[in-house]
Amino acid sequence: MVTGDAAYIKKINRSIIIREIVKEGMISRADLSKVTALTRATISAQVADLLEEGLIVETQLEYNFVGRKPIMLSLNGQAGYALGIDLDFEQISFTLSNLLGQPISSTIIEIKTNDYSEVLKILIEQINKFKAEYMDSRYGIVGIVIAIHGLVSIDEIIHYVPRFNWHGIYLKKDLEEEIGIKIYLENNANLSSFAQRVFFHHETNNLLCATLYSGIGLGMMMNYEFFRGHDGFAGEAGHMIIMPGGKQCNCGNKGCWEKYASESSIFEYLSEKRNIKNLTYEQIQRWLEEGDEEVTELMEHFIYYLSIGLNNMINMYNPDVLVLESELLRMYPDSLNKIRENLNSSISHYRELLISPIGKKSCVLGACALAIKHFLNVPMLNLSLVEQNQNNTNAII
Ligand SMILES: [Zn+2]
């Protein structure tokens, strides 16, 4: 039907136009017409709609070398908000960002239970608070992404969360029925890798991010997509065996990488050895500053075993960017150079190895960014955590 075709084409054009505005950060109508090859009339009509809807805003530039001051179009960051949730063991972090990915408000709720129905109740309560607070904005909360510290299947069913002992949980369905906002579930290491790609490494098409906290997870961003494997469970690098017949792991094998190179392996050892219940990063830092020989030796072993697994990852994926998420590495002097020195095989190649500058927040910020990407329906986002001035690009595909 003619009307159906026209409506469909209009929808496609709209998506192309939004994509270009997000990509450029700021763009004039004339340049939009050039880059999209759509007519000036089509651009004008679509832009008028988007302005009317409040999704974009006009800005008149102050300086222009040739004649008239151009009117630029950009995404309206305040038109709606994204909610990122990090569903970690013992605490749930909520961060709300604007449509440019900049965090507006954060809440952390300590939880004392791993009972699914109780956790679900807490999630519903908190989400409803955010929903009520931001319902007056043009689009309200545009989407919610929840980080799961475990296996999430391709159809977003929680297959297994070790620390909660959850199997086959339909959190997405349960929440969407209650909340009425689109919910997405994603593995926490994937979201950390997404944050690194969206906020810091705009040019790369091959980024790995290893999270080294309670276990080891590997998030992999390849050509704008997560590398997920057949079921969605790829990246369980912590269960790569690096020590045949080594320490017993909960997965059933012995000698898994995370028994030697996750932060929890250090915390567990020191807690038991020194009989301290709630060991903190600050305490470990104090010991290191005091020159505690045992703790220093533990850190050296941690770096050694970490390097062994990283060597294997590098040979497997030949990464462009490899990011390490670890507070212990951040606090231990010269840790990055020590790792680099261990990665001296003539075969393994990577371009950039670094420790994440944002630490544990990366997961929840990646969750916000992913909700924005789904809402705008663009292939990739380039955002900045620092508010940019108007001449700088805020978001590029
Ligand atoms: Zn294991």
The pLDDT assigned to 5 comes to 86
Where does residue 329 rank: exposed (0-12), middle (13-18), buried (19+ CB within 10 A)? buried
The pLDDT assigned to 395 comes to 36
What would be the CATH architecture of the domain defined by 6-75? Orthogonal Bundle (1.10)
pLDDT bin (cut points 50, 70, 90) of residue 273 is very high
Mean pLDDT within 242-259: 96
CA of 254 to the centre of ligand 1 (A): 7
CA of 257 to the centre of ligand 1 (A): 7
Lowest mean pLDDT among 48-57, 178-187, 381-390: 381-390
Residue 394 has pLDDT above 70, yes or no: no
Q: Go through 221-242 and write b for each residue having 16 or more CB atoms within 10 A of its CB, e for each that does not.
A: bbeeebbbeeebbbbbbbbbeb
Q: What CATH superfamily is the domain 80-192+361-396?
A: ATPase, nucleotide binding domain (3.30.420.40)
The pLDDT assigned to 239 comes to 97
CA of 300 to the centre of ligand 1 (A): 22
CA of 85 to the centre of ligand 1 (A): 26
CA of 7 to the centre of ligand 1 (A): 52
Residue 385 has pLDDT above 90, yes or no: no
Give CA–CA dist 193/13, Å, rounded. 31
- Domain parsing of the chain, residue ranges: 6-75, 80-192+361-396, 202-356
CA of 256 to the centre of ligand 1 (A): 5
CA of 177 to the centre of ligand 1 (A): 35
164, 105 contact by CB (below 8 A): no
CA of 235 to the centre of ligand 1 (A): 13
- The structure tokens listed for 135 are 């319902």
> Average model confidence (pLDDT) for the chain?
92
Q: pLDDT tens-digit profile of 153-196?
A: 999 999 999 989 999 999 999 999 999 999 999 999 999 999 99
CA of 266 to the centre of ligand 1 (A): 16
* Fold equal for 80-192+361-396 and 202-356: yes
Mean pLDDT within 48-59: 94
First to last CA, the chain: 33
Mean pLDDT within 91-107: 95
Q: What CATH superfamily is the domain 202-356?
A: ATPase, nucleotide binding domain (3.30.420.40)
Q: Which residues surround ligand 1, an ion (CB under 5 A)?
A: 239, 249, 251, 253, 256
Residue 221 has pLDDT above 90, yes or no: yes
Give CA–CA dist 198/376, Å, rounded. 14
